[in-house]
Chains A and B, each alone.
Chain A
């Protein structure tokens, strides 16, 4: 149980295009999901907290108009990188909070999406 999927696993796009990344909790409900970004050989940095049915909360320095987050259901959150540029190339990882599990042990990570912008 407690599986989180991400789609696509990798994507290559041209500069100026938009890319949508999906994060799904497959066997549990997740009212809260988190989006992280990881540059090569670096740690994960939190980008935003996504709450079902409400606006996402962005970390300082993350452009909300560039990284659009939608959490329309209890099992799906999407991150759209708008007008992507080469500096947006990164590994994007989501985690989902199992609503039915108390405490921080109920967070589960997706496998990540590698975005390369040419």
Chain B
């Protein structure tokens, strides 16, 4: 079965420093992977997605993630954190490649940005 593990439940960084949110996946095939962000009391916003194209995926707001098959990882990074980046981040995998099955969410990583 497909699953994702977010290795940190909470990450705290200073404004202007790099962000690293870790995600490992488990899949029996080449998966489709996503990162979503959720601000407090808000819905989900898609940051970026990997669907078997380029392994380095660039998303919105300066975020990017690299798909590493050998490490079964899909870590999310950003060179310089901004206060507005403080939110909950979810690493997500698709159960199948058909699109007709639901997405499986990791438990989430809460990012705090300190001024």
Report whether B49 and A105 are in contact in the complex, using a CB–CB cutoff of 8 Å. yes
Docked complex Cα distance between A111 and B90 (Å): 15
Q: Is there a chain A Cβ closer than 8 Å to B28's Cβ? A: no
Say yes or no: B99 contacts A93, CB within 8 Å. no
Interface contact B99-A114, CB-CB below 8 Å: no
Residue A19 at the B interface, CB < 8 A?
no
Cα-based distance from A25 to B104 in the complex (angstroms): 21
Q: How far is the CA of A32 from the CA of B98 in the complex (A)?
A: 12
Complex: A32 Cα to B96 Cα, angstroms:
14
From the candidates A43, A104, A111, A112, name the one contacting B99 in the complex (CB within 8 A): A104
Cβ–Cβ < 8 Å partners of A43 in chain B: 90, 105-108
SS of B interface (majority): loop
Query: A15-59 toward B: CB 8 Å interface, digit per residue (1/0)?
Result: 000000000000000001010100000111110010000000000
B103 at the interface (CB under 8 A from A): yes
Verify B103–A104 contact, CB threshold 8 A. yes
Minimum CB–CB distance from A58 to chain B (whole Å) comes to 12
Q: Which of B42, B44, B98, B105 has the most CB of A within 10 A?
A: B44
Q: Which residue of A is nearest B33, CB measured?
A: A104
Instruction: Give the docked Cα–Cα distance between A54 and B36 (Å).
Output: 30
Distance to closest chain B CB from A24 (angstroms): 14
In the complex, are the beta carbons of B90 and A44 less than 8 A apart?
yes
A103 touches which one: B32, B41, B106 (CB < 8 A)?
Answer: B32
From B51, B90, B100, B105, contact of A97 by CB (8 A): B100
- A7 CB to closest chain B CB, in angstroms? 13
B103 touches A95 (CB 8 A): yes
Q: Does B94 contact A (CB under 8 A)?
A: yes
